[in-house]
């Protein structure tokens, strides 16, 4: 036997009220509407108010009264039905307003931090982590302790470490999705196609044509770029090894029936994310195991393209082969330990091109 009122074991009083009483209250007019008119007219009839009327006049009065009552009941029911939709709309509006307020606070906080950081910017460093300690939200376990890293343009950083050691957490802090527990994090380049783009392990694929997939997060290309832009998209698809998608979709602008995230394989999704990168060609790219579903050879090809396009990379990856494309390795260890070392210069494919 469970004690009475044990909220964890069954619905509480508030839930019972919402499950049973609210619908009953809402539909009360519907239930009683049919008999309400007779109850209302019965009082004056039995009190003798209409004793002068003939039987025909009385029945006409009763029927007229029933019509008016049912019409009123109908109107009340509609108002009550509308009120629940109105409550939903009010709830959604409130949540959107709260989200908007939170976003404004974050943006304002970032602006203030950026202003402070500008004064502290060390020469030519673009990503700066100074004395940064990271813990996951709602956890006391330190993932990275007192981390100091500066990433300069042209100097690629590879983050390695065991599963769960906090590699992606560093990227979340750089993207300002998480606040560090201690220390300063500064990114001296705008987020987006003109600055730094983040490629996650599982890319977000919106609905839309192949063109819309490749140019994402842009919604439209410049109207006068025409053929030039088409060529750029085709070239990006070729570099990412996805030219085959053109025949599957029937062209860049053909409306497709399917959901991209359902029909593409994980590897194809990752290649599509790289085609976005090659189309947008930002100065900096943060790659969070963005090629993990591809073969080593395919990964090397994609990193070679990034190098040819002159992007500065911050990557998380497990394969040894991608070390050749990086200058620094940040290795995360247990208990928040880390080690930053310069990688030996090696000949990476694409260096001689």
Ligand X SMILES: Nc1ncnc2c1ncn2[C@@H]1O[C@H](COP(=O)(O)OP(=O)(O)OP(=O)(O)O)[C@@H](O)[C@H]1O
User: How many chain residues touch ligand X (CB under 6 A)?
Assistant: 13
- The one segment of 3-11, 133-141, 144-152, 225-233 that binds ligand X by CB under 6 A: 133-141
Q: What whole-number distance in Å separates Cα of residue 201 and Cα of residue 263?
A: 17
Determine, following the binding rule CB under 6 A, whether residue 143 of this chain makes contact with ligand X.
yes
In the complex, the smallest distance separating the C-beta of residue 137 from ligand X, rounded to whole angstroms, is 5
Q: How many helices and strands in the chain, by DSSP H and E?
A: 11, 9
- The one segment of 1-9, 61-69, 85-93, 137-145 that binds ligand X by CB under 6 A: 137-145
157-161 sheet: strands from edge to edge = 196-199, 284-288, 312-316, 157-161, 328-332, 338-342
Residue with tokens 């943060």: 286
In the complex, the smallest distance separating the C-beta of residue 333 from ligand X, rounded to whole angstroms, is 11
Determine, following the binding rule CB under 6 A, whether residue 137 of this chain makes contact with ligand X.
yes
Binding-site string for ligand X from residue 156 to residue 195, where x marks contact by CB under 6 A and - marks none: -----x-xxxxxxx--------------------------
Identity of the residue, 139 or 227, whose beta carbon is nearer to ligand X in the bound complex: 139
CA atoms within 13 A on the CB side of 290: 28
- Candidates 61, 70, 136, 218; binder of ligand X (CB under 6 A) is 136
In the complex, the smallest distance separating the C-beta of residue 181 from ligand X, rounded to whole angstroms, is 13
User: Radius of gyration of the chain from Cα atoms?
Assistant: 32
- The one segment of 15-23, 138-146, 228-236, 243-251 that binds ligand X by CB under 6 A: 138-146
Report how far apart, in Å, the C-alpha atoms of 333 and of each of 198, 274, 323 are: 24, 29, 18
Determine, following the binding rule CB under 6 A, whether residue 133 of this chain makes contact with ligand X.
no
Phi and psi torsions of 131, nearest 5°: 55, 40
- Candidates 5, 24, 119, 139; binder of ligand X (CB under 6 A) is 139
Q: Which helix (H) or strand (E) holds 27?
A: none
Report how far apart, in Å, the C-alpha atoms of 27 and of each of 71, 73, 77, 246, 337 are: 15, 11, 7, 55, 63
In the complex, the smallest distance separating the C-beta of residue 257 from ligand X, rounded to whole angstroms, is 34
Residues that bind ligand X (CB under 6 A): 136-139, 143, 161, 163-169
């Amino acid at each position: 036997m469970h004690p009475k009122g044990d909220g964890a074991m069954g619905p509480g009083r508030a839930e019972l009220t919402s499950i049973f009483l609210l619908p009953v209250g809402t539909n009360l007019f519907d239930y009683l509407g049919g008999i309400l008119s007779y109850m209302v007219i019965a009082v004056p009839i039995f009190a003798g108010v209409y004793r002068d009327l003939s039987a025909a006049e009385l029945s006409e009065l009763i029927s007229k009264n029933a019509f008016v009552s049912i019409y009123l009941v109908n109107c009340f029911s509609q108002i009550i039905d509308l009120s629940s939709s109105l409550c939903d709309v009010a709830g959604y509006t409130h949540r959107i307003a709260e989200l908007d307020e939170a976003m404004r606070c974050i943006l304002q906080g970032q602006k203030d931090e950026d202003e402070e950081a500008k004064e502290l910017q060390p020469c030519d460093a673009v990503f700066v982590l100074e004395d940064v300690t990271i813990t996951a939200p709602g956890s006391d376990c330190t993932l990275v302790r007192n981390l100091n890293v500066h990433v300069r343009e042209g100097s690629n950083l590879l983050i390695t470490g065991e599963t769960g050691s906090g590699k992606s957490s560093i990227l979340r802090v750089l993207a300002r999705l998480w606040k560090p527990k201690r220390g300063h994090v500064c990114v001296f380049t705008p987020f987006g196609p003109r600055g730094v783009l983040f490629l996650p392990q599982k890319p977000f694929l919106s609905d839309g044509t192949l063109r819309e997939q490749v140019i994402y997060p842009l919604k439209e290309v410049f109207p006068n770029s025409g053929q030039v832009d088409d060529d750029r998209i085709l070239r990006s698809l070729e570099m990412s090894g996805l030219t085959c998608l053109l025949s599957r979709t029937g062209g860049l602008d053909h409306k497709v029936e399917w959901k991209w995230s359902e029909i593409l394989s994980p590897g194809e999704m990752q290649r599509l994310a790289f085609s976005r990168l090659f189309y947008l060609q930002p100065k900096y790219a943060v790659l969070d195991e963005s090629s993990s579903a591809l073969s080593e050879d395919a990964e090397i090809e994609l990193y070679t393209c990034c190098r040819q396009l002159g992007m500065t990379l911050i990557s998380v990856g497990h394969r040894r082969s991608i070390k050749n494309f990086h200058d620094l390795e940040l290795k995360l260890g247990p208990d928040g330990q880390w080690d930053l070392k310069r990688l030996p210069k090696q000949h990476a494919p694409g260096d001689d091109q």
